[in-house]
Amino acid sequence: MIQLEHPALFKTQSYINGRWVEASTGAAIQVYNPFDQTLLGSVPDLGVEDCTRAIEAAAAAFQEWRDYTAAKRSKILRRWYELQLEHVDDLAKILTLEQGKPVAEAKGEIRYGASFVEWFAEEAKRVYGDVIPGHGSDKRITVIKQPVGVVGAITPWNFPNAMITRKIAPALAAGCTVVIKPSELTPFSALALAELAAQAGFPPGVINILTTSDAAAIGKELTSNPKVKKISFTGSTRVGKILLRQAADSVKKVSMELGGNAPFIVFDDADVEAAVEGAIASKFRNAGQTCVCSNRIFAQEKVYDEFVTKLAAAIQDITIGNGMEKGVNVGPLIEPKALSFVETLVQDAVDKGATVLAGGKKAVNHDLIFEPTLITEPSTEMMVYREEIFGPVAPVFKFSSEAEVIALANDTNYGLASYFYGRDYARIWRVAEALEYGMVGINTGMISTTVAPFGGIKESGFGREGSKYGIDDYVNIKYMCWGGVS
């Protein structure tokens, strides 16, 4: 049981059609704190039948919700946003306990998550159509945008709050209703959001949250049930491909925010100190467990030694430990298999000749904490070059020319985030245009914000979240041709 200022935020039931419910089978999932493996509580382990019920509730609620005026939907969203800010401390505590990230970072995530709700409360009022000059003198053309219907949102454990709000705030703003499947590792943040949504005044069935350990079966139901009109998924490229195939049968609208293999390039004219700061921010956020974390760092020959020395020093300043403790910057990885994967990557690099300049192993006395690690002189033959690391390991590759580093940076199936540091403005333009990525950070390691379109290309997916573009994924465009206007 988690001690909170407002204990009502700690929910241990799923939320369907405005009711807190158990699984129809009575099954439950136990949820543990990744820092010390203490039991936090349990939530229902719902099955397909429960999922179908939630979809039906969302489909029924859609008939009413889509007809609310934009102003009325906006007001409820705004209230939900305010409630999230009023409960930042409790929401962050829940998040840290179930996910492990430091509580200061968790508070950042709650504010980041809430900012999507604020933004789309405003955007709800701006789902404008068009009037297009007709193709005949008696013709008039109008375009309207309508909500797609029921949205199935499947969200990950690394951002248990913000990945939900980033998907469902635009959906709700547009007039859609939602069925959300959060990760079974971090369900409490999702349920706390549902409690606040109920307080904010969303009608029953508009927001439904399914907790389950059977991601495959629920994913199948969400992608195949004809009442679901849109799927939005954040997670691995492997699972994204499965969902895409499944959604193809009923030709659903789909958004995919999948894996990344972000390059972080330091050119020889870069402000090296700033680059180190950016690398620390983008690499070690959430212990390296974000899709936009820099994965492969490339430093140009002339600044390689200076960059690596300064990065090693900055890594020594990182404090690892319990995310609930003040001053901790890096917490545990989410589960044992995540830690073993990171160990495998580092071992592979060492076996193939790389040097470990900092960290390199599991922290003493902490089961799931991996020490912030710096690997120098890695090669393209190593797993750290190809794989999404999803852990606090920074391999720094050496390069000599712009053409060489562009080729290396683009040598991946992924295309989510990329970063580079340099001062020559012509090169900045050339490189930004040449990088095959949906997002480019130029002289910054932090690119995530509500106001910009978040999303990838290639096997990192498609669709954009946040910004003025974020609502597009939740509306259908309808064109009306008016004849006989003479």
Kindly indicate which of the ranges 73-81, 131-139, 285-293, 388-396 contains the residues binding ligand SIN, using the contact rule CB under 6 A: 285-293
Closest to ligand SIN by CB, 159 or 399: 159
Interacting residue with ligand SIN among 159, 370, 390, 414 (CB under 6 A): 159
The residue nearest ligand SIN at its CB is: 448
Rounded to 5 degrees, what angle do the CA atoms 42, 48, 54 make? 80
31 binds ligand SIN (CB under 6 A): no
- Least CB distance to ligand SIN at residue 63 (A): 33
Closest to ligand SIN by CB, 74 or 189: 189
User: In 19-54, which positions are buried (b, 16+ CB within 10 angstroms) versus exposed (e)?
Assistant: ebbbbeeeebbebebbbeeeebbebbbbbbebbebb
Q: How far is CA 69 from the centre of its chain?
A: 29
Q: Is 201 in contact with 59 (CB distance < 8 Å)?
A: no
419 binds ligand SIN (CB under 6 A): no
Closest to ligand SIN by CB, 70 or 281: 281
What's the one-letter identity of residue 197? Answer: A
Q: Pattern 217-236, binding to ligand SIN, x per CB under 6 A?
A: -----------------x--
Beta strands in 340-416 (DSSP E): 355-358, 373-376, 393-399
Tell me the two tokens of residue 12. Answer: 């241990």
290 binds ligand SIN (CB under 6 A): yes
Interacting residue with ligand SIN among 291, 328, 333, 406 (CB under 6 A): 291
Under DSSP, is residue 172 helix (H, G, I), strand (E, B) or coil? helix
State how far the Cα of 86 lies from the Cα of 5, in Å rounded to an integer: 11
> Which residues neighbour 104 within 8 Å (Cβ) at sequence distance 6 or greater?
none
The single-letter DSSP state of residue 71 is H
State how far the Cα of 260 lies from the Cα of 194, in Å rounded to an integer: 29
Closest to ligand SIN by CB, 9 or 164: 164
From 109, 291, 371, 465, active-site residue: 291
- Does the active-site annotation cover 301? no
- Least CB distance to ligand SIN at residue 327 (A): 23
Give the H or E element holding residue 310: helix 301-316
State how far the Cα of 408 lies from the Cα of 417, in Å rounded to an integer: 15
Q: Pattern 250-269, binding to ligand SIN, x per CB under 6 A?
A: -------x------------
- Least CB distance to ligand SIN at residue 465 (A): 8
Question: According to DSSP H, which parts of 8-102 are helical?
Answer: 48-65, 70-86, 88-99
- Does the active-site annotation cover 257? yes
158 binds ligand SIN (CB under 6 A): yes
Q: Pattern 114-153, binding to ligand SIN, x per CB under 6 A?
A: ----------------------------------------
Tell me the two tokens of residue 84. Answer: 């999230």
Looking at residues 432 to 451 of the shown chain, list those that interact with ligand SIN (rule: CB under 6 A): 448
The number of residues in the chain equals 486
Residues at the contact surface with ligand SIN, assessed by CB under 6 A: 158-159, 234, 257, 290-292, 448, 454
Which positions are annotated as active-site residues?
257, 291
